[in-house]
Amino acid sequence: MRALCGVLVSGSFIAVDWGTTNRRAYVIEGGEVASTERDDQGILSVPAGGFPAAVADLRARHGGLPMLLAGMVGSNRGWHDAGYVTAPAGIAEIAANLVSPVEGVSIVPGVCRDGGDGRQDVMRGEEVQLLGAVAAGLAPADALLCQPGTHAKWAVMKGGALADFTTAMTGEIFAMLKAHSLIGAEMAGDVDADEEFRKGVEASADGDLLAALFGVRAASVLGARAPGGAAAYVSGLLLGTDCRARVKPGQTVHLLADGLLARLYSAAIAAIGAEAVVVDSHASFVAGITRIRDMTS
Amino acid sequence: MRALCGVLVSGSFIAVDWGTTNRRAYVIEGGEVASTERDDQGILSVPAGGFPAAVADLRARHGGLPMLLAGMVGSNRGWHDAGYVTAPAGIAEIAANLVSPVEGVSIVPGVCRDGGDGRQDVMRGEEVQLLGAVAAGLAPADALLCQPGTHAKWAVMKGGALADFTTAMTGEIFAMLKAHSLIGAEMAGDVDADEEFRKGVEASADGDLLAALFGVRAASVLGARAPGGAAAYVSGLLLGTDCRARVKPGQTVHLLADGLLARLYSAAIAAIGAEAVVVDSHASFVAGITRIRDMTS
């Protein structure tokens, strides 16, 4: 490790964001990404007992460098359960709790919260992006960060640490409604941050999601919505419900997202009188994993 | 039709509550149920073009009496679309809008609401029970009525008429979570109005259903809930969310339900400081359909 302009610069290593369905490997040299590779070899595609070989293969492909893994690979469904550190947690707490199943390869723990208020929550993989976004100056040290998705993560950062967080089942409920519910057939259209989406965000102000969802069926039966608009409306309802539970008017949300999800959450956040700032989630991951590595190498 | 003690008493007729998966036929003589028959010949079990024969068969089995049908048989997926009357609606408005596809057989219309507030809602079949409960004195003329189920109906009765109503997708969301979600495997246990159910109702006070549902997963990962408790907890979350959106502390809800659903909704309503009164839904249906018949025969 050497110091460069006051920033610690690690030796070369392989960082892997290894999720349920995909993984992305980065060769990081001197704090910069030298190469990156993405494939669909998520943990679900690894056969029973297959992790040692999969890890060795990945490592060999990238010059046998030391390797630091994050994400679901560290869950009890992955290679090795890396446990959780309890929020509030910063990069130091994460770095102090790496698990190393084999020489030269370490796994980042997840983060849990188990407050006295009886609410439990867990994350695994997102903590690297969240802490990295702040460490790289892409978001302030005190900020509200959001990673939209199947399970949207909302993180309250304080003094650069992950102080508290909430996971909302927003994306999963949308997918489930589309695939399996009474209103699924009406949700065939594309979703974008259009007029129907905004109507859904507006309707979410009633705080009555269970009734609003049936209202989609009623609107269809009564011919009150143009065919094709229901998917965007339901997306607006769900994202609006999610955002209103966590964002106050006037607040700024740093959004670790791109593409459609960035557009949708930005629109929902704007519609409730707050502001979204989109942050590069890949750069955040690289910044986070590099700093964790710096603390341990 | 003849008058008896000031109450109109119809001639004999067959009343049928014909739903999606079941139907129940009542032979009603002089305002009383002479016989009843329940089977699983809901509208989904009737083959294409099969309704005339199914109706004729049912009618012949019960002495060829005049027949009055209610429920999904009057939808566009049933025998004949009987349309909707718009709330507020009383027995007179329902009776004035029967549809008669064949001589001697009529179908009750549904009720819709399409308020200036942009919220649409529909019911079909429930209106007979709701209006019947009040007409029979089983609930006051001004009351909040609830019919729990896949799609829970909440009706505001004013002066004996159905003034307004809301449908909540409560039961469908529960079934969908159990069958298709990340937390479905944890929802294997039985549901009853127990301690875990009450904890769910309590947690619903946060008004953050999307996060509370993911919390079920987190509690399981962190070992914070005894195995088998998640189904009752999720049921409490959903019913609590449903009730809190519509019931104020101190209010009385008349519940057209029996068995487990009556126990669960009664417990949820009590937990938020209101009171549930259970009403016989079959007696309500008979009272409602008899009064509709009285107005038309």
Chain segment B49-87, per-residue pLDDT in tens: 999 999 999 999 999 999 999 999 999 889 999 999 999
Q: Does A218 touch chain B (CB under 8 A)?
A: yes
Selected residue of A180, A210, A213 to mutate for chain B interface (largest B Cβ count, 10 A): A210
pLDDT at residue B290 tops 80: yes
Q: Does B218 touch chain A (CB under 8 A)?
A: yes
Q: Which of B119, B181, B221 sits opposite A172 (nearest CB)?
A: B181
User: How far does the CA of residue A52 sit from the closest CA of chain B (Å)?
Assistant: 24
Chain B positions in Cβ-Cβ contact with residue A172 (cut-off 8 Å): 181-182
CATH 3.30.420.300 domain position(s) in chain A: 2-138+281-296
Residue B293: which of B9, B5, B3 has the closest Cα? B9
Selected residue of B77, B120, B151, B239 to mutate for chain A interface (largest A Cβ count, 10 A): B120
Choice between B115 and B139, residue whose per-residue pLDDT is larger: B139
pLDDT at residue A183 tops 90: yes
CATH 3.30.420.310 domain position(s) in chain B: 170-279
**Amino acid making up residue B115:** G
Say if the Cβ atoms of B181 and A177 lie within 8 Å.
no
pLDDT at residue B9 tops 70: no
Q: Which of A119, A210, A217 sits opposite B215 (nearest CB)?
A: A119
pLDDT at residue A6 tops 60: no
Q: Who's near B8: CB < 8 A, 6+ residues apart?
A: B1, B2, B294
Choice between B212 and B228, residue whose per-residue pLDDT is larger: B212
Q: Does B151 touch chain A (CB under 8 A)?
A: yes
Q: Does B195 touch chain A (CB under 8 A)?
A: no
Cα nearest neighbour of A238 on chain B: B210
The two structure tokens encoding residue A195: 């007029």
CATH no. of A170-279: 3.30.420.310
Identify the band that residue B297 occupies on the pLDDT scale cut at 50, 70 and 90: confident
Q: Do the Cβ atoms of A266 and A279 come closer than 8 Å?
A: no
Identify the band that residue A4 occupies on the pLDDT scale cut at 50, 70 and 90: very low
Q: Which of A121, A172, A210 sits opposite B215 (nearest CB)?
A: A121
Query: For chains A and B, what is the number of CB pairs under 8 angstroms?
Result: 122
Q: Count the neighbouring beta carbons within 10 Å of the beta carbon of residue B52.
A: 13
Say if the Cβ atoms of B173 and A210 lie within 8 Å.
yes
Q: Count the neighbouring beta carbons within 10 Å of the beta carbon of residue B91.
A: 23
User: How far does the CA of residue B194 sit from the closest CA of chain A (Å)?
Assistant: 18
Q: Domain B2-136 classified CATH 3.30.420.300?
A: yes
Q: Does A168 touch chain B (CB under 8 A)?
A: yes
Query: Rounded to an integer, what distance in angstroms lies between the CA atom of residue B288 and that of residue B47?
Result: 29
pLDDT at residue A280 tops 60: yes
Q: Do the Cβ atoms of A144 and A247 come closer than 8 Å?
A: yes
Cα nearest neighbour of B153 on chain A: A211
Identify the band that residue A228 occupies on the pLDDT scale cut at 50, 70 and 90: confident
Chain A positions in Cβ-Cβ contact with residue B224 (cut-off 8 Å): 114, 120
Q: Do the Cβ atoms of A162 and A198 come closer than 8 Å?
A: no
Q: Does B164 touch chain A (CB under 8 A)?
A: no
Return the pLDDT at B142: 98
Chain segment B240-261, per-residue pLDDT in tens: 999 999 999 999 999 999 999 9
Residue B18: which of B289, B293, B297, B292 has the closest Cα? B289
Residue A242: which of A172, A150, A176, A168 has the closest Cα? A168
Q: What is each CA distance from B202 to A37, B128, B152, B240, in whole angstroms?
A: 47, 33, 20, 7
Where b means 16+ CB within 10 Å and e means fewer, A275-284 reads ebebbbbbbb
Return the pLDDT at B10: 56
Cα nearest neighbour of B152 on chain A: A211
Say if the Cβ atoms of B119 and A215 lie within 8 Å.
yes
Q: What's the longest Cα–Cα distance across chain B?
A: 69
**Amino acid making up residue A219:** A
Residue in this structure with the two tokens 């998705």, named with its chain if needed: A149
Q: What is each CA distance from B159 to A51, B132, B165, in whole angstroms?
A: 70, 13, 15
Residue A209: which of B242, B204, B155, B253 has the closest Cα? B242
Mean pLDDT of B173-198: 95
ipTM over 0.90: yes
Chain B positions in Cβ-Cβ contact with residue A230 (cut-off 8 Å): none
Mean pLDDT of A3-9: 45
Q: Which CATH number fits domain A2-138+281-296: 3.30.420.300, 3.40.50.150, 3.90.1150.10, 1.10.132.10?
A: 3.30.420.300
Return the pLDDT at B128: 98
Backbone angles phi, psi at A14, to 5 degrees: -105, 125
User: How far does the CA of residue A236 sit from the closest CA of chain B (Å)?
Assistant: 14
Say if the Cβ atoms of A181 and B172 lie within 8 Å.
yes
Q: Does A224 touch chain B (CB under 8 A)?
A: yes
User: How far does the CA of residue A120 sit from the closest CA of chain B (Å)?
Assistant: 6
Chain B positions in Cβ-Cβ contact with residue A218 (cut-off 8 Å): 112, 120-122, 167
Residue B111 host element (H or E): strand B110-114
Return the pLDDT at A2: 43
Cα nearest neighbour of B214 on chain A: A169
Say if the Cβ atoms of A122 and B84 lie within 8 Å.
no
Chain B positions in Cβ-Cβ contact with residue A119 (cut-off 8 Å): 211, 215
Query: Rounded to an integer, what distance in angstroms lies between the CA atom of residue A288 and that of residue A283?
Result: 9
Say if the Cβ atoms of B203 and A122 lie within 8 Å.
no
Scanning A196-215 for CB atoms below 8 A from B yields 203, 207-211, 213-215
Say if the Cβ atoms of A222 and B166 lie within 8 Å.
no
Pairing of strands B105-107, B67-70: parallel
Residues recorded for chain B: 297
Residue A18: which of A32, A33, A39, A36 has the closest Cα? A39
Identify the band that residue A116 occupies on the pLDDT scale cut at 50, 70 and 90: confident
Q: Which of B118, B176, B221 sits opposite A180 (nearest CB)?
A: B176
Return the pLDDT at A238: 98
Chain B positions in Cβ-Cβ contact with residue A171 (cut-off 8 Å): none
Q: Do the Cβ atoms of A167 and A156 come closer than 8 Å?
A: no
Q: Does B226 touch chain A (CB under 8 A)?
A: no
Residue in this structure with the two tokens 């109706």, named with its chain if needed: B55
CATH 3.30.420.300 domain position(s) in chain B: 2-136
Say if the Cβ atoms of A166 and B211 lie within 8 Å.
yes
Say if the Cβ atoms of B173 and A211 lie within 8 Å.
no
Mean pLDDT rounded to a whole number for chain B = 94
Mean pLDDT of B157-162: 98
Q: Give the whole-number percent of chain B exceeding pLDDT 90.
A: 90
Chain segment A20-66, per-residue pLDDT in tens: 999 999 999 998 999 999 999 999 999 999 999 999 999 999 999 99
Where b means 16+ CB within 10 Å and e means fewer, B131-159 reads bbbbbbebbeeebbbbbbbebbbbbbbee
Return the pLDDT at A1: 42
Return the pLDDT at B116: 77
